[in-house]
Chain A
Amino acid sequence: METLIEQTAEKSLKDKIIDLIQKEVPDYMNNFFYCMGATPLILFLVAAATGILMTFYYIPYPEKAYESVMAITSEIYLGWFIRGLHKVSITMMIFTLSLHLVRVFVTRAYKTHGELKWLIGTMLFFTTLAMGFTGYSLVYDQVSYWGMTVVMNMAEEMPLFGPPLAYLLRGGAEVSELTLLRLYDLHTKLLPVLLILLIGGHIIAITVLGFAKVEGSEGKHLFYPEHAMKVGLVAIGLLILMINLVMIFPPTIGQMANPSEVASNVAPPWYFSAVYKWITIAPRQPALFALLFFSAIFVLYPYIDRFLTERGFNMGRINIVLGTVAVAIFSMLTIWNVLF
């Protein structure tokens, strides 16, 4: 009798481990547009690996920082390649994360099986953008220096928690060597830990709550081997694409940060271009307030959806219109900023 209990216990543990990996995934995931969550994850792994490699050479102190990035880019064997991969993977991660986001939004996939997936997802999106900002600050060229100055002052303009947050981030009232060290710590320690926790949470939420329901697709297939193989194929494709992108667009570095002169062009990377253009054309306080308001709507959207659905609005159509308008405005501002 005792041995029997032991056997079942052992078996169930083994089964549990298998069950952790072996899930049924819905058939609609065969469509690339429905499985773009794995893409940013693959890219994150590349960014993490190359990022860890670069910490072996990077020195988080003004001037030294610029020199060490310069050394990584032009002196250290394959340094340009590692830095290039880091940059390309982050850029592509933000891009594919946006695609994933737009798809979930337009198909209202946040609706089925709870809002937790969406909430964690939005936090993941903001943390990734924070990684982008802290990352390009570390290069310590003109864009880095004036970028951090401007962003810290933007944080300071926020109501209530803005000033203490800005003070804490800067390590004082002005941007100094402490600021660079803090951004370095955020970029290489705190934010990655947060990002990994959020990614874990996002995946656990999907496994526990289940995949979104898509109308007209009832079939299921196994995660392993069918789906895992497809993800592997995507990963190989991404690696080839990334390597080519790094070869074609090797990483560059601007002029060294000069605290007593602003360069004529301090435009941020493309994913912040739209926000940059927005704060340039709109009056300061309303512009920042609009950004906060938009972020709040974005995070709480599943609840807004439910509220409006209960009052008889056709949210399917509204989401398509909203999604299109948001993408159009973002693209327009980005192109406007790049061209003019």
Chain B
Amino acid sequence: MGVINDNISRRKFLSSSFMALGLGFGLGMFGLRFLQFLSPKTKTDRFEEILVGSISDISDSDATVMEIAGSKIVLLKTDTGLVAFSRKCTDLGCLVSWDKAKEQFICPCHQGIYDRNGKNIAGPPPRPLDRFQVVQKGENVYVKVKTA
């Protein structure tokens, strides 16, 4: 391909450049606004302590699965006391389930395995299971979760 017009004046070059710049700026602005429209507002995180039961109700050896305010939780008595694990696999977000016989949390999506303390011991998970804060007031057990 040859050069179509190689002797444009400086004035013409500058005005074309400004035109291109303006057009780019305008289209970019549009694009940005469109993307903003497509991004839903993030809600401010609010944490609340929610009663999950009395300490004597919670099984000593088995895990208790529950869903509180959208958070999927599994309660288990570990070596360091009662822990509320998030069921969300730290790998790619599937849900782990408790294998009572093996005493392990298993994620079926990509065979991630965690031990009874939530530590990642096999498969792709990069870190231990996330935990929610557990608050014990007398007999009652509360779990601090994010509420919308």
Contact = CB atoms under 8 A, between A and B. Distances in A.
Interface stretch (A49-57, A72-80, A171-179): A171-179
Given A168-B38, A260-B67, A283-B124, A149 B92 contact: yes
Contacts, number: 60
A173 B42 contact: yes
B126 interface: yes
Given A262-B97, A280-B124, A283-B124, A167 B39 contact: yes
Contacts of B109: 146, 150, 262, 266
Contacts of A150: 92-94, 109-110
A299 interface: no
Contacts of A178: 40
Interface residues of A, number: 28
B72 A260 contact: yes
Contacts of A152: 93
Contacts of A287: 124
A177 to B, nearest CB: 12
A261 B126 CA distance: 22
Interface string A152-186: 11100100000000011001111000100000000
Nearest to A151: B92
* Max chain A C-beta neighbours (<10 A), residue from B35, B124, B126: B124
Interface residues of B, number: 23
Contacts of A168: 35, 38-39
A96 B38 CA distance: 35
Contact of A279 (B72, B93, B107, B124): B124
* Max chain A C-beta neighbours (<10 A), residue from B42, B93, B97, B126: B93
- Classify the secondary structure of B's interface with A: loop
B124 A284 contact: yes
Nearest to B70: A174
Interface in B65-79: 67, 70, 72
Contact of A149 (B39, B93, B125): B93
Contacts of B40: 171-172, 178
Contacts of A149: 92-94
A261 B125 CA distance: 18
A263 interface: yes
A264 interface: yes
Contacts of A172: 40, 42
B110 A279 contact: yes
Nearest to B87: A260
B115 interface: no
Nearest to B38: A168
Contact of B92 (A154, A171, A264, A285): A154
Closest 7 CB pairs of A and B: A153-B92, A280-B110, A153-B93, A150-B92, A284-B124, A149-B93, A262-B94
Interface of A: 146, 149-150, 152-154, 157, 167-168, 171-174, 178, 260-266, 279-280, 282-285, 287
